[in-house]
Amino acid sequence: MIALLLVSNVRAQTMFAHDTNSTRLARFEYVIGASLAFSLADYVGYSFARVYNVDGHAAWWYHAISSSVQVAISYLLYEKFGLPSTIAFNLIWWSWCDDIGYYGWADLINPGKQSVGVWENREGNGLRDNHITWAGWTPIGLLRPQGSLIARDALITQAVIGFSVSMAILW
């Protein structure tokens, strides 16, 4: 039943939609595709930035480029499908879904036991242990002292909720 509703040729009926010929399925495809593309760009960019790290942190240009890519994707989604698609994409990012995508790309691109250079893989990535401190910009992270440990299960739960709310926004 849900698949029929998604595939149906129902036009977007949101008050913010710019492209009234868009289907629900197209909005879902673009937002999910944008999140997958952003997480891939994050994986590649962060891996390259680790080569030029300063005091264990990624190079400043990585953060500038990553932010620019996020703004560009948000603008393109806004122009194509309106504000709800932009909000959904950024909610997926904010709730840590794109970070899970990052680790998914690490498993897919570099699945071996030995890390290739600075590229993370399934044997040596930050998702394997339960010592996550770098998610301070997420909703759960903002409720905790900066730099404190955040349980992996809490972040995954937050990501599932964030993704679900994003899909509801697109509906």
Share of the chain above pLDDT 90, in %: 52
Going by C-beta distance under 8 Å and a sequence separation of 6 or more, which residues neighbour residue 72? none
**CA–CA gap between residue 31 and residue 170 (Å, rounded):** 9
User: What are the backbone dihedrals phi and psi of residue 72, each rounded to the nearest 5 degrees, phi first?
Assistant: -65, -45
Q: 89-130, pLDDT tens digit by residue?
A: 999 999 999 999 998 998 888 766 655 566 777 666 777 777
Report pLDDT for 7.
41
Q: Is residue 26 over pLDDT 60?
A: yes
Among positive and negative, which fits the CA dihedral 94, 171, 39, 149? positive
In a domain, 143, yes or no: no
Q: Is residue 160 part of a domain?
A: no
Q: Would you say residue 17 lies in a domain? A: no
Q: Which domain holds residue 43?
A: 23-125+166-170
What's the predicted TM-score (pTM) here?
Answer: 0.80
Does residue 46 form part of some domain?
yes
Provide the domain count of the chain. Answer: 1
Q: Considering only CA atoms, which of 72, 125, 155 is closest in space to residue 163?
A: 155
Is residue 99 situated within a structural domain?
yes
Report if residue 10 sits inside a domain: no
Mean pLDDT of 11-38: 74
CA dist 166 and 92 (Å) reads 7
The pLDDT assigned to 20 comes to 47
